[in-house]
Amino acid sequence: MCGFAGFLGTGSYDDIVAMTSALVHRGPDEERIYDDPKYRLFLGFRRLKILDLSGGSQPMQSWLAKHIIVFNGEIYNHHELRVELELKGYKFQTNNSDTEVILHGYAAWGDSLPSHLNGMFAFAIWDESRRRIFCARDHFGEKPLYYIDQPKLFAFASEISALHSHVNIPREFNPSNVQKFFAYGYVPAPGTVYQSIHKLPAGSTLIFDLDTNKTKVSRYWKFEIQADDNAPAARIPALADELRSLLEAAVKQRLEADVPLGVFLSGGLDSTAILAIAAKCRGSDGIDSFTIGFKEPSYDESVFARSAALAIGSRHHERIIDLANTHVETCSILNKLDEPFADPSIVPTSILAHFARATVTVALSGDGGDEMFAGYDPFAALTAAALYRHLVPSSVHPIIGSIISGLPRSQRNMSLDFRLRRTFRGLSYRAALWNPVWLGPLAPGDFVQCFERPLSTEELFEDAISAWDQSNARNDTDRSLEFYTNFYLPEMILTKSDRATMHASLESRSPFLDRDIAAFCQTLPRGYKIRHGQRKYILREALRGLVPDFVLERKKKGFGVPLTKWLSTINTPPKLPDGLSIRDSFTTARWKGLFENSEDERIFLWAYLCLAYVGGALE
């Protein structure tokens, strides 16, 4: 795991040094810089050593082909690809470097290279013979890649902070994308909250042509459900066996490391499955597991994690925190963000990453399990939502809303009143908007009050609406799976995971996002994901006998955060940068409602706070 930056055009050696230095947390073990005055090309690299500790330094150059690469991530099928490339005649200088596999793979396969890779990756290759830069990002977007394309400057980096370290790259906000941030809780790719900075979408390649000074972005892969609704019970045993084999292979591949490795453990189904398989693969060597817990009982899962670790036999480590007493840590985490996202679990995830880093350098996680197998609570709400829309007259809708709004407010994790309010606010809109509205920080109806120049609901959610309407999936469950996998997963979950772990100089790996598991899930009918009302049905069947029964039978809890309590410790609400057209009266009223417990806008206020930190209003 590493960080890189580079640019062609306007700028100096001092710029690439500054850009690379901004990524020191992503790679504390080594720094290297390459420059080519002929093309005004600069590449910088920070390395966190995981594989081939004595080799594999970057930027790595292939002298014969005149290609040079900077790469962040891991290629899990690099051994197989190395053999394939050697048979084609390519000679390797390193013993075990997946970076060199990508470099020779580009020479062999050209623009189709990413389709050969099974892993998490973002890379940029300078191709001198074709006078272009070829960039790619992995299938799900585990590893980030941002870029800016100006008339005399093309620049790219693993984080926005590195781009902002170049003297010619402005920090101007994009007001429309700021509104999208409050609609989704993130800005869908290729947008960011900044006017001139873009993010390469997951499963995409980018080519910058030096001769034409033009950039071309292409999609080489996208998660799309290609299944029918036929799910006979007779196929369940065979599918469960296949899935179990795929999971075991994915975990085994991700255990390769020349440094200590462990597992993040919540005690839920996904992380416990990863731990159980990892422990089985490691045998007598054993494995470490790591958990973060809360003193607030309704949010704490540490007892479940402890029980799972005991049943599996891992060396278990846990830390219990009181979020209200972690003000300094929380503000430090927020101050490191270079783009906002409205998931407050960035705080415990960051604390967990730093806690684990004292023991290991790599941690496996259960990220992706909910998206692959329909684990989230909204999947259970889809049928009820459709019935409500069909049966309840529109004239009755405001009356029901008023009743729900008057329910007593609770600070407990996923309390009934919180779930009802969230669910109800989505029911005012068509199915394409249910998921983003259920998850978003600000209800669509509030944008007129919040912003002086509000976007319409169609403009705010144009990305989600387009994806929903163009989907070939046959039902709302599968269309929702595509939403979570193509939007929520890369923009929220994986961004959180990358930032939290990388700021601790820790590599995170997600076996559920294996390319072969994704292919399996794309053709899996809905009736195997949700069966008899049980979500993740086929996954549970695949794990029987491997994961303890009490984990298989436990209802999903979710990684909640006692956010309201922490927000209540903020005495003076912050101000946002000028030019965003957000009405102070609206935000002041929301903070007042929080302090008086008269309304629950915790997610909006957290998003507001994140944007204030990113905008430099707070430190």
Q: Which residues are catalytic?
A: 2
Q: Are 474 and 229 in contact (CB under 8 A)?
A: yes
Distances (CA, A) of 107 to 66, 130, 420, 521: 10, 12, 55, 32
- Rounded Cα distance, 281 and 366, in Å: 17
Give burial (CB, 10 Å; 0-12/13-18/19+) of 610.
Answer: buried
Task: Give the closest residue to 610 by CA, choosing from 329, 346, 325.
Answer: 346
- Rounded Cα distance, 179 and 171, in Å: 17
Tell me the residue type at 167: V
Residues in the chain: 619
Mapped to the 3 state alphabet, what secondary structure does 177-225 carry?
HHHHHHHHCCCCCCCCCECCEEECCCCEEEEEECCCCEEEEEECCCCCC
Strand ranges of the sheet holding 67-75, from the earlier edge strand across to the other edge: 60-62, 67-75, 119-127, 132-137, 204-209, 214-219
Q: Are 228 and 474 in contact (CB under 8 A)?
A: yes
Q: What are the backbone angles phi and psi of residue 43, rounded to the nearest 5°?
A: -130, 135
Q: Are 178 and 241 in contact (CB under 8 A)?
A: no
Distances (CA, A) of 215 to 133, 150, 201, 306: 9, 10, 14, 50
Q: Are 47 and 30 in contact (CB under 8 A)?
A: yes
